[in-house]
Structure 1
């Protein structure tokens, strides 16, 4: 079943590359915080690298001013995500999270079957806003689109 507004985010362990691979529990990421998490189908892919991540990097000050943390999620391994973060000049306070086996993505019901493109299971392109791990907004893109998960769109809808 797909995650809905009002749902608590599922419990999972995600990885981040910081002095080696480190595991972070979703409670550590979302507990007691305001967090925007956006998901991309793949690091180093065209739209993700040219538009999606750069938009959030450019708007980090606006999220910070609102007391909102930002995280990027992808079904990739932590090493790929770390290399992509470096390539994209991602600031240290924008968490770049690896859901290597897609367990968290599947638990949210936001997986994308990209086997036809040789990419296997991936995350749909989406953005969500959560407070203390409870989803307050969820913006899932239609296939092939990039509109409702952009930093600008999310900021506009945060009010």
Structure 2
């Protein structure tokens, strides 16, 4: 699993943001500045849709005030689904989305979550990372269901600790 101090791997991906959908790499998207990346098992899934994404959307002004330049959500979904989710939640233009359609990011980060038994296949584990200039400063991976360690409040506390 990717760890604190690790440089981000370069993984081809699709970026969904206010400018549209583009082919890029993870290091190009998160290689400069301060980024918060949070990963979810899937767009529109109950916990992701009701708890995880809304927490980052609601706390976006506080995160920006704390020095975060970019907030990104990644899931093992195609870019059409990620765009629909961004639009549906009102997050498009405030949060960027990475569509990890084939799970390459999940594998490269060591954050694969096997939900085959639930009929969902391999997914990204629920996590959040604080990334500075392409290097993971902090990582929070949930060890059970729900949003706790990887939610926006945890990231805000980590930013406060790092900035004090």
Alignment TM class, shorter chain as reference: over 0.9
CA distance in 2, matches of 1:42, 1:140: 15
Q: Which residue of 2 aligns with 1:155?
A: 156
Q: Which residue of 1 aligns with 2:3?
A: 4
Alpha carbons 2:47, 2:146 under 8 Å: kept: no
CA distance in 2, matches of 1:34, 1:141: 22
TM-score of the pair, normalised by structure 1: 0.94
Structure 2 alignment gaps of length 5 or more: none
CA distance in 2, matches of 1:150, 1:24: 26
Q: What does 1:78-117 align with in structure 2 at a 5 Å threshold?
A: 78-117=79-118
Structure 1 alignment gaps of length 5 or more: none
Q: What does 1:1-159 align with in structure 2 at a 5 Å threshold?
A: 2-17=1-16, 21-68=21-68, 69-159=70-160
Does the residue aligned with 1:106 lie in a helix, a strand or coil? helix
Shift of 1:157: 1.7
Which portions of structure 1, spanning 4 or more consecutive aligned residues, are displaced by more than 3 angstroms? Answer: 17-21
Alpha carbons 2:8, 2:27 under 8 Å: kept: no
Moved more, 7-16 or 71-80: 7-16
CA distance in 2, matches of 1:91, 1:108: 25
CA distance in 2, matches of 1:21, 1:146: 28
TM-score of the pair, normalised by structure 2: 0.91
Does the residue aligned with 1:4 lie in a helix, a strand or coil? coil
CA distance in 2, matches of 1:46, 1:119: 13
- The size of the alignment, in residue pairs, is 158
CA distance in 2, matches of 1:20, 1:31: 20
